[in-house]
Structure 1
Amino acid sequence: MSRKLVRPREGRMFAGVCAGLAQRFGMSAGMIRLLFLLSLLLPGTQVIVYLVLWILMPNEDRVRY
């Protein structure tokens, strides 16, 4: 299990941001996705944060261990 913040090749639904966060923090990807969807009900910049993470998080195959 990788402890780096990367977007994995396996388990992606859209961009892999939620799967990468789940992998990094030892949670299930479904739980992270549910939390993200619930957070959309609150005012804030959740979508912008998601897009920034999508840009900044490297793909798993581009990271050298």
Structure 2
Amino acid sequence: MTSTNPPKEFVRSDSQKMIAGVCGGIGEYFGVDANLVRVLTVLGTVVSGGTVALIYLAAWMLMPSR
């Protein structure tokens, strides 16, 4: 049985954008509020000592924009 739904695109958001659209794109992909992703990103950055911020920067460079 084949699915008729096309696969979701993992892209940066143009509509839910504050800095680069990475958190907005993640929120759209997983179906959660972009603000929740932003809060988790900030908390993760503080707890990880900046590692999550580096992952954010990498995602900014690697994720295509819509």
TM class by shorter chain equals 0.7 to 0.9
Show the counterpart of 1:9. 14
Which structure has more RCO (C-alpha within 8 Å, separation ≥ 6)? 1
Alignment RMSD: 1.4
Write the distance in 2 (CA, Å) between the matches of 1:57 and 1:24.
12
In the alignment, residue 59 of structure 1 is paired with which amino acid? Answer: S
**TM-score of the aligned structures, taking structure 2 as reference length:** 0.81
- The answer for unaligned runs of 5 or more in structure 2 is 1-6
Over the matched positions of the two proteins, sequence identity in percent amounts to 37
Distance 2:37 2:58 in 1: 17
User: Which of the two has higher C-alpha Rg?
Assistant: 2
SS at match of 1:9: coil
Number of residues paired by the alignment? 59
Which structure 1 residue ranges, 5 or more long, are not aligned? 61-65
